[in-house]
Amino acid sequence: MVQKREYIMWSGNVRNLPFPERIRVTAKAGFDVLTLSPHDWLDAMRTGISTADMLAMANDAGIRIDHLDPLARWAPEWMPDNITEPAYLTFLLCDTDDFLRIAEALGITSMTAICSFPAGAKFDVDQLTEAFAALCDRAAEVGVRCDLEFVPMWGLRDLETAWAIVDGAGRANSGLIFDFYHYLRGKPDDDLLERIPADRISSVQVADAADRINPNISLFQDCIFRRVQPGDGDFPITRLLKLLERKGAIHRIGPEVFSQVQDQMTSDRIAEVTTHAFKRALDAAAIEHDFPRRHQG
């Protein structure tokens, strides 16, 4: 029997599409879940699409909106020093109160917490652990699991520190987001990854990229413009997928491709390349799966 998994269309794959097209592409590509950011939700509202409309559209397409990503302002310090374009800063501006209100309105069951303070800043792991535990407690009040994601271009840079915070907080409604890009661009530690309990890796984000960053751009620019579909870059996608599958850590998984090239594609082309590359990656790792779930017009 094929293991039950959820296939997630992380919103970065469809970030340039209007909300109705995001829904259509997610269903057409065969995914179960579309994620949103607070900024995505607000953008849809500005076009006259209510929260009830969003949920009805998803239901009609046979998918769910079920993950809100990201929340940065839970941390004692959060302002980054490497974002020069205001448009990208807006994704981090939502405070905890508003974030959880949006999550509750959408019926979201999971969320991403990140730390966006500068990479070189000194911080107290115990203080972050206490703040994360408090965030998990607040999220639990509205039925939301709080997943921590490390991001090497900012302060919480590696798996080791993120796991220390999640483990130290000791909250049942917490886990880790495991992003291939952040792991491989940061400080990969396969031995540690093997030791982390499988049920504490809540979701997996699969992405690929060139082995080396273009010296004329920053890590931030590489992250948000230069990712490629799994199998189209130099990352050891198959090895990591096999490791995660062997330890039983692939429960919720999908591609997360922030790509300037993909941003220029038509909706149908995004659906086509995303389905093909993600299925190819699962097959290459010999992972039993039932993706894609469906194909719709």
pTM of the predicted model as reported, rounded to 2 decimal places: 0.96
| Residues 34 and 9: beta-carbon distance below 8 Å | yes
296 pLDDT band (50/70/90 cuts)? very low
Q: What is the pLDDT of residue 57?
A: 98
Burial of 116 (0-12, 13-18, 19+ CB in 10 A): buried
Q: What is the pLDDT of residue 293?
A: 79
What's the chain's length in residues?
A: 297
Residue 156's nearest CA partner among 131, 191, 190 is 131
- Residue ranges and CATH numbers for the domains of the chain are 6-284 (3.20.20.150)
- Is pLDDT above 90 for 267? yes
- Is pLDDT above 60 for 240? yes
- Is pLDDT above 70 for 297? no
Q: In 170-251, which residue ranges form alpha helices assigned H by DSSP?
A: 180-185, 190-195, 219-225, 237-246
Predicted confidence (pLDDT) per residue in 103-123, tens digit: 999 999 999 999 999 998 888
- Is pLDDT above 70 for 16? yes
Q: In the chain, which residue ranges form alpha helices assigned H by DSSP?
A: 19-29, 38-46, 51-61, 86-89, 96-106, 125-141, 159-169, 180-185, 190-195, 219-225, 237-246, 260-263, 267-284
| Percent of the residues in the chain that have a pLDDT greater than 90, as a whole number | 93
3-state secondary structure of 183: helix
Which tokens in the block code for residue 21? 């097209």
Predicted confidence (pLDDT) per residue in 30-88, tens digit: 999 999 999 999 999 999 999 999 999 999 999 999 999 999 999 999 999 998 778 88
